[in-house]
Chains A and B, each alone.
Chain A
Amino acid sequence: MDDTLSSSFIETSVKQAVPLERMAAPVSVLYLDELEDRGIDSPKRLSAVVPNLHIPEYGSAMTSSIYLRGFGSRMENPVLGLYVDDVPVLNKNAYDMDMLDIRHADLFRGPQGTLYGRNSMCGVLSLNTLSPSVFEGVRAGFEYGSASTLTARASVYRKTENGLAIGGGIGFRHSDGFYTNSFTGEKCDPFDGLSMRLRIEKRISPEVYFENILSAGALTQGGWPYRKYDTVSGELMETSYNDICSYRRFYINEAVKLRKESSDYILNSISAIQLLLDRMDMDQDFTPRSMFTLTQSQKEGALTQEIVLKPKEGWKTEWWNWQSGAFAFWKFNRMSAPVVFKKDGIDELILGNANSNIPDDIAGGHDAPLAILEESFPIGSLFGIHTFGAAAYHESYFSFGRFLLTAGIRLDYEGNIMSYCSDAEINYRFKPTMKDWKKFETLYKGRTDNHYVEVLPKVSLTYDMGDLGGNGSAHAFASISKGYRSGGFNTQIFSDILQNMMMNGLMADLGVYMDDAGAAVKAEDTAYRPEKAWNYEIGANIDIRNTGHFHGAASVFLINCKDQQITLFPPGESTGRMMANVGRSRSVGAEASASYEIAGLAVSASYGYTDARFTEYDNGNADYSGNRIPYSPEQTFSARAGYTFSFHKDGFRSLSINADCSAIGRIWWDEANTLVEPAVIQLGTDMTLGFKWFDLRLRMDNLTNEDYNVFYFKSVGNSFFQRGKPFRWTAGIRINL
């Protein structure tokens, strides 16, 4: 595609104040062509391509666990902020999106708290969609591959005579799925997804530029191909579960961007409305047994508003540039998350625990003196969660000769208010004494809140090492910055809370009181605080353009994190998980990337190393201080080499052959560091035959069919793994008119 889309001088966002190479943060930039060539159709596929980034593909599209520089989490708030056309995506459930016509993806590593605030503790991924003001034409593509995976997309970008630029695209993806559920004999991860975008731009006055970006998507899929792991024999069983696992999602985002430019300033306003509706059905025990299921449906609406003010010639001086901004958001999530206990779950998880505590004398000769009439019953959980925040920030850029000093500060306020209502109703009988069933109801409702203020400073210094004799540029930088990840509520633990309440209440109803009932978790205990991190970093980048084009960058960093949010599995055969601020940790690491292009040859590589460990983490049962932080890889590596043969003919124009390699690992799966996933290397290749109006493409991933795990967890005392995707191929056509 003939474009301006591979230039490094594209403004990455309205907040970019200095060229990327002068920024005191490492940035990975991928342009549309490379994204499509490498098959990067979702943010998850950026793993390893961006050093120290790991977004494992497991579960479903709802699961977007992001690990960057040693930090991350399986649930709740991410460490990486996602912005699409300068609009923050507020719900992590929408992170796994179809990257339809992404003009360029920029991943800023290290805390971007000063400009981006919440959840940018380890970085920001900024996706910029193709704009009809910079590209006119028709784009289309059709691909087919392994597991009957089919993608089709089409988009049109036009400018009208009256200055209106309009572009729209639609994409569809289907897959039969890669994993088989041996219980049903069918694929458990089929996928159907549809996404669309409509972008309208117009200069509505000499000073004001208007953009409207409407995007929407819907998907329905299976998933969660988890395999039970026998911890004694080390054997990994087949995926086998009996209840429905599915995920459905619909989202619609509407953004209005206004840019007013005068001789003195540029004022950007970005307003957005986000709506997300989703529903997840999950066999929570992931076994063929009828233990318990979770159905979680969310209806979330959000509003965001950001204003960014930058000076132009009239206001800025040769040595001082700056930007100031304000941000506010509000979102409301109405979530229903009933856990249905089924027969095996009632017998084992509820009655098993209760009956084991009833002494033989009292049991009156009954093996299971306490009985529940229902074959299954739901523990209902309804939540209404308001999350709101406001922020003000400023960054100044002082130029002194070859030095650029950046100093910034941001003040963030965030509040969360949660209304909750959990209930359950059962009929029970204590066999030694009761002839009839007795109804027992449990209700837990109330409201709790959580508020906090964060101050996020940043100081950095960039040194310009000159133009290398007119052949390029080189810069070195040092930075200190702070970021944070928002706090919130552990909604997933409420079924456990109610389960405990129900059993204690039922026993009290019987007039039986346990000596060791234990401290019950209450709603207010489910709130967790923000996780905060200070990042210290030095680095350099070099760009040389002579006969070829070489770009290289490297940095080393130290991150000190406190109030780290860790997903905990409550002890025993509990059903929930909860986030807790369990201690402190630190991460030291290094990142490097390089690329070289000459004639038809293009070679690139990136490498990331992280040593991330708990420095203080004692959960009361064990002290994990000094252990590796689980789930985040120690190393990431990605390399790609390709050659494009150009034929300069009207018909067959080029042949491009590329090979790539990515490696991720080791990954520690638990806090005790007893389970380790070795590094896995995956090879891929793609070939493109370029014609005047279209390209024919073939891509293959995981050429050696590596067998590896992408996820581990425990549920009801059982351990599970998910295997990574096997070898797969895709062939198709890409049309550019």
Chain B
Amino acid sequence: MRKKIYCILTAISCLFCSCEKAPTIVTEDTPEFSGKMTVLYDGESFEQSGVKVSAELSTDGNTVDIMMHKVKFVPSMPVRIDVTIMDVPVIQSDGGTWTFAGDDITPWAMGGYYDTYRVDDLYGTISENAIELSLDFFNTKKGEGYPTSYSGRK
């Protein structure tokens, strides 16, 4: 089932990938979650707790912007950055859970599309009180990816 949804959503994502826009502005109404992010780096997992992630559904309910706030992907990063994965196709299941997935998405960071990295294999769900997602941050210059997972609650 997951694979099927993933294929449908990633196909839809191709429709959006050529659009360029600034990321959604996070407002008080934007659902925000706090939780643990785990990045697999050099064979070791780097965990951060208290990471905040927001998810903003588009007005037509077809896409979602996933915003990760002040995250580090490796312990040695001297800075934390905001990363937004935009226009991720999403569908709502009968139980009210939103499922999103995407592939080959250039994330928005530091004022624009940050093509040093590519988001692959993005898959996640958003319920009323929780968000779960996994993805692979792929460094296009180094040719290596950093599998990342996140689990957060309101």
**Which A residues contact B (CB, under 8 angstroms)?**
357-359, 361-362, 364-365, 429-430, 432-435, 438, 507, 509-516
Contacts and interface: CB of A to CB of B under 8 A. Distances in A.
A434 B111 contact: yes
Interface stretch (B50-58, B75-83, B86-94): B75-83
B82 A362 contact: no
A429 B111 CA distance: 8
B97 interface: no
A513 B82 CA distance: 9
Contacts of B154: none
Contacts of B61: none
List 9 A-B pairs, minimum CB-CB distance, nearest first: A511-B82, A433-B112, A434-B111, A513-B80, A434-B112, A510-B110, A430-B111, A433-B110, A364-B116
B80 A432 contact: no
A438 B112 CA distance: 11
A513 B77 CA distance: 11
8 contacts: A359-B77, A361-B116, A361-B139, A364-B116, A429-B111, A433-B109, A433-B110, A513-B80
B116 A510 contact: no
A435 B112 contact: yes
A357 B79 CA distance: 8
Contact of B110 (A365, A511, A516): A511
A433 B111 contact: yes
A407 to B, nearest CB: 63
Given A365-B141, A513-B70, A358 B79 contact: yes
A670 B79 CA distance: 35
A434 B110 CA distance: 8
B111 A357 contact: no
Max chain B C-beta neighbours (<10 A), residue from A358, A433, A513, A514: A433
Given A361-B139, A365-B141, A512 B81 contact: yes
B130 to A, nearest CB: 24
B86 to A, nearest CB: 13
A433 B106 CA distance: 11
B113 interface: yes
B112 A359 contact: no
B114 interface: yes
Nearest to A365: B141
Interface string B129-142: 00000000001010
A532 B113 CA distance: 59
Given A364-B116, A365-B141, A515 B111 contact: no
Given A361-B116, A432-B116, A513 B79 contact: yes
A382 B142 CA distance: 49
Contacts of B78: 357, 359, 514-516
Nearest to A357: B78
B82 to A, nearest CB: 3
Contacts of B109: 433, 511
Given A432-B112, A433-B112, A514-B79, 8 more contacts: A365-B141, A432-B110, A432-B114, A509-B111, A510-B110, A512-B79, A513-B70, A516-B78
Given A361-B139, A365-B141, A511 B112 contact: no
A608 B79 CA distance: 56
A433 B141 contact: no
Contact of A512 (B110, B113, B116, B141): B110
B79 A430 contact: no
Contacts of A432: 110, 112, 114, 116
Contacts of A516: 78
Among B77, B78, B80, the one with the most A-chain Cβ atoms within 10 Å of its Cβ is B78
A515 B79 contact: yes
**Most chain B CB inside 10 Å of its own CB: which residue of A435, A511, A515:** A511
B79 A359 contact: yes
Given A357-B78, A357-B79, A515-B78, A362 B116 contact: yes
B110 to A, nearest CB: 5
A546 to B, nearest CB: 82
Nearest to A369: B110
A430 B139 contact: no
Contacts of B110: 362, 430, 432-434, 510-512
Contacts of A433: 109-114
Contacts of B113: 433
**Interface core residue of B79, B82, B109 (most chain A CB under 10 Å):** B79
Contacts of A429: 111
A596 B23 CA distance: 87
A23 B107 CA distance: 80
B16 to A, nearest CB: 19
B57 to A, nearest CB: 21
A432 B107 CA distance: 13
Contacts of B112: 430, 432-435
A516 B70 CA distance: 14
A510 B111 contact: yes
Interface in B105-131: 109-114, 116
Interface in B61-82: 70, 77-82
Nearest to B77: A359
Nearest to B109: A511
B114 to A, nearest CB: 5
Contacts of B114: 364, 432-433
B80 A515 contact: yes
A507 B114 CA distance: 15
Contact of B81 (A365, A435, A513): A513
Instruction: Tell me which of B79, B110, B114, B139 has the highest count of chain A C-beta atoms within 10 A of its own C-beta.
Output: B110
